[in-house]
Amino acid sequence: MTLRLYYENPYLKEFEGKVLECRRAGAEWEVRLDRSAFYPTSGGQPFDTGVLGESRVLDVFVDKSGEVWHRVDAELSEGETVTGKIDWERRFDHMQQHAGEHMLANAAWRLLGGHTIGLHLGKEEVSIDMDLPEGRTHITPEELHALEDDVNQRIQRDVPIRQWFPTEEELKALPLRKAPTVTEHVRVVQIGTEEYCACGGTHPSSAGQIGLVKILEARPSKGKLRLIFVCGRRACVLLRKEHELLHEASEKLSTSVENLPTMVGNIQAELREVTRQRNEARTEMLLQGAEAMYENAPLREDGIRVICRQISGDMDGARALAADLTGRGYAVAALAAGDGPRLQYVVSRSPEAGVDCGKTLSQAARATGGKGGGRSDFAQGAGPAEMLEALKEAILKG
């Protein structure tokens, strides 16, 4: 069984190990050593990368028997001793994120009664899913701030982090936050005097090395609460980027960062008013051409006029134009609004026209990958441009 050196020293960046086995795995190789400092994917924490001799380590995993395997890009000779070097920037980032997760999960447990049921440590963000009392899936801004403050105050106090394998008797006496998922060789991480949790991951020796925990979002996910956050250097990089973007935006709008929300609100209000006026003008222009559309529309054998057009207005304009056209009598109007790949559709008819608008639109939508439906005299939907031709063909056939 591979001796896992990171258990005793998560700061070990370089080591020597003997190659016990090297097997082919497609275009790559899988290597088993007598000892290794490479962390294998487990417990929500991703694997370490680095090199073994001249081979790049592409993945590290544990098989069903508990053996650690290193997937590498070049073959190693069985029996040789190789030097392993850990990608320390990646390892320490994972240490910061994982320890920060422990502290945030503990704060949510103490302050909100939340029980963490899942961890995902991604390249850019970290997330935990948790059960809250009474099935809550939301928290208030005040609760979110309380979680952040609780964790960061402990980080600033630089509370110690201990990682060890307690004896069976010692384990029974520990106030674990949740029950271990294994029954043998249980490893415990203790942070300060409040967080005790079974965990096989790598963590720094004190909370101050985490630097900072910043919660980015708290939202429902599959009936649970999901907290998305970043720690350490990730938090610094994110705050720097957002700081630069805020100042860039404030300079472009000739205002202060503090006044940005008010300025953006004013711009949004102005845009809504301009959009309303533009749409009203478009609708007026459409209605001015309604008589010509009606008079020039093709006739079915039963004398019903069929107007099938793509217009430049919005849905309000399409509805207004359809009402005008069909209000003139003996007409069916199928109008497509917009200029993108997916258009908005309105189908309307005069009382004299024997067309079921809802059924006709629904059938055309299914045939062309769109969607829609409605009443016999009026229907709405959305779909590609070819949906208009399908509607025209169906209406002309009657």
The DSSP result for 377-396, as a single string, is SEEEEEE-THHHHHHHHHHH
Write out the two tokens for 92. 């320490």
Distance CA 348, CA 335 (A): 9
Domain C-terminal end among 68, 86, 104:
86
Pairing of strands 35-36, 126-131: unpaired
DSSP state of 211: -
The rounded distance, in Å, linking the Cα atoms of 56 and 38 is: 12
Residue 251 domain flag: no
User: Angle 124-69-101 (CA atoms, 0-180°, nearest 5)?
Assistant: 30
Longest dimension (CA), the chain: 93
User: Dihedral sign, CA of 71, 75, 79, 83?
Assistant: negative
The answer to whether 376 and 357 are in contact (CB under 8 A) is yes
In a domain, 262, yes or no: no
Q: What is the CATH number of the domain that holds 231?
A: 3.30.980.10
- The answer to whether position 354 is within a domain reads yes
The reply to whether 199 falls in a domain is: yes
Q: Beta-carbon neighbour count of residue 40 at 10 Å?
A: 23
- Is 0.85 surpassed by the pTM of this model? no
CATH number of 50's domain: 2.40.30.130
**36/112 same-domain check:** no
Q: What is the per-residue pLDDT across 182-218, written as a single tens digit (0 to 9) for each?
A: 888 899 999 999 999 999 999 999 999 999 999 999 9
Which of these three, 211, 242, 273, is where a domain ends? 242
- Structure tokens belonging to residue 237: 């990089």
What is the pLDDT at residue 313? 79
The burial class, CB within 10 Å (0-12 / 13-18 / 19+), for 245 is: exposed
Dist. CA 339–CA 317, nearest whole Å: 14
- The 10s digit of each residue's pLDDT in 310-366 is 998 789 999 999 999 999 999 999 999 988 889 999 999 999 998 999 999 999 999
Could you tell me if residue 200 is inside a domain? yes
Q: Which residues of the chain have pLDDT under 70?
A: none
Contact 213, 153 (CB under 8 A): no
Residues 231 and 289 in one domain: no
- Kindly state whether residues 111 and 162 are assigned to the same domain: yes
Q: Are residues 117 and 77 in the same domain?
A: no
Distance, CA of 246 to chain centre? 23
Is residue 272 situated within a structural domain?
no
Determine the 3-state secondary structure of 298 from DSSP. Answer: coil
Q: How many residues does the chain have?
A: 398
98, 187 Cβ separation under 8 angstroms: no
Same domain, 321 and 384: yes
271 in any annotated domain: no
- For 341, the token pair is 């790949």
Residue 278 has phi, psi (to 5 degrees) of -60, -45
Side-chain-side CA neighbours of residue 222 (13 Å)? 7
> Residue 286: what pLDDT?
86
The CATH number for 331's domain is 3.10.310.40
C-alpha 289/C-alpha 309 separation (Å) is 12
The verdict on 106 and 59 lying in the same domain is: no
- Residue 282: per-residue pLDDT: 86
pLDDT at position 182 is 84
**Integer CA distances (angstroms), 349 to 158, 368, 383, in order:** 73, 22, 20
Residue 246 φ then ψ, to 5°: -65, -45
Same domain, 96 and 224: yes
Q: Are residues 115 and 206 in the same domain?
A: yes
Indicate if 160 and 135 belong to the same structural domain.
yes
Question: Number of structural domains, the chain?
Answer: 3
Asked which of 86, 111, 146 is the last residue of a domain, the reply is 86
Angle at 37 between CA 36 and CA 41, to 5 degrees: 95
Clarify whether residues 173 and 202 are in a common domain: yes
What is the Cα–Cα distance from 38 to 32, expressed in whole angstroms?
11
CB 337 within 8 A of CB 318: yes
Query: What's the CA dihedral at 323, 326, 332, 333 to 10 degrees?
Result: -30
359 domain residue, yes or no: yes
Same-domain check for residues 235 and 155: yes
Residues spanned by the domain of 374: 285-397
**For residue 86, what are the CA distances in angstroms to 93, 100, 127, 294?**
12, 21, 25, 76
Q: Could you tell me if 80 and 98 lie in one domain?
A: no
With a CB cutoff of 8 Å and minimum separation 6, the contacts of 271 are none
Residue 272's φ and ψ, nearest 5 degrees, are -60, -40
Angle between helices 141-156 and 88-112 (to 10 degrees): 120
